[in-house]
Structure 1
Amino acid sequence: MQRVTNCILIQQNKILLLKKPRRGWYATPGGKMEQGESIKESVIREYREETSLHLQNPELAGAFTFIVQNADRVVQEWMMFTFICNAFEGVQTEHCDEGILEWVDQDKINELPMAEGDKKIFEHVLSKSGMMYGSFSYTEDYDLLDMQLDPSTP
């Protein structure tokens, strides 16, 4: 099972997002964990690779399982660990191989094209404190089939 980390970086009520070229959907910068790496090491490294920014004290906000399926057959499965952070060092890169980096107003996040599960994660992280645990099932076209969410605090 693949493991990925990402981080919601918030500065002055804006969030740095990555617009992916494949679907034109927005996502949080991050990527695949390397063997032997902790999730915190991974999110700091991946974020720096995509943005050139060095996260300062990212905090784990959620742990999620994602399944892509075709009928009853699982096509892909991965775990994602989402962090939140309010401080960084460095200067943002002008070019990212993964897509276009864009600072977006927090109150505009829900209007952007993105995976439905990501919208639920943003909703929790931006309005509540504490961890969120969940699982999401998608079709191969990334239509949401099912989700189960368990926030640790109401």
Structure 2
Amino acid sequence: MQRVTNCILIDNDKVLLIKKPRRGWYAIPGGKMEQGETIKESVIREFWEETGLKLIDPSLTGAFTFMIYSSDELVHEWMMFTFMCKASEGELASYCKEGELEWVALDAIHKLPMAEGDRKIFAHVFSSNDMLFGSFSYTEDYELLQMRFDPTTS
């Protein structure tokens, strides 16, 4: 199963996001783990590769399973480990091959186009210090079919 890490970097009441070109949706910077990496090593490397910023002491906030279905058939599944961080060093990259880097005000995130599961992850991270575990089921067009959380969140 593929493993992915990403990080919500908060600085001056803003979050660094990537606007993906395919759908115009906003996403949390991160990417695929490499063989032998810890999840923390992966998130630091992936975040730096996409943004040019080195995370300082990111903390794990959630672990999630994502499943993509075509009709009733599972076609893709992966695990995602989401971190949060409030400090980084370096200079923001002027170019990111994954999309456009953008600092977004915390109070504007709920208005942005994004995967519905990401919206729920943001809501939890900004309202709780607890770890969140969950699973998301989507269609191939990223229409949310089902989500489950432990602990239960609103």
Structure 2 length as normaliser, TM-score?
0.97
In 1: Cα distance, 2:147 partner to 2:125 partner = 17
Q: Does 1:6 align with 2:6?
A: yes
Paired AA for residue 62 in structure 2: G
Secondary structure at the residue paired with 1:127?
A: coil
**Alignment RMSD, CA only?**
1.3
Counterpart in 1 of 2:150?
150
Counterpart in 2 of 1:128?
128
Paired AA for residue 53 in structure 1: L
Q: Does 1:56 align with 2:56?
A: yes
Paired AA for residue 67 in structure 1: M
Paired AA for residue 49 in structure 1: E
> What pairs with 1:2-151 in structure 2 (closer than 5 Å)?
2-151=2-151
Cα-to-partner distance string for 1:114-153 (whole Å, 9 max, x where unaligned): 0000000000001111100000000010000000011389
8 Å contact 1:17–1:29 — kept in the other structure? yes
> How many residues were matched structurally?
154
Paired AA for residue 64 in structure 1: F
User: How far 1:40 moved relative to its partner?
Assistant: 0.1
In 1: Cα distance, 2:114 partner to 2:82 partner = 16
Paired AA for residue 84 in structure 1: M
Structure 1 length as normaliser, TM-score?
0.97
User: How far 1:100 moved relative to its partner?
Assistant: 0.2
In 1: Cα distance, 2:153 partner to 2:27 partner = 25
Paired AA for residue 19 in structure 2: K
Cα-to-partner distance string for 1:26-46 (whole Å, 9 max, x where unaligned): 000000000000000000000
8 Å contact 1:129–1:153 — kept in the other structure? no
Q: Percent identity?
A: 66
Paired AA for residue 61 in structure 2: A
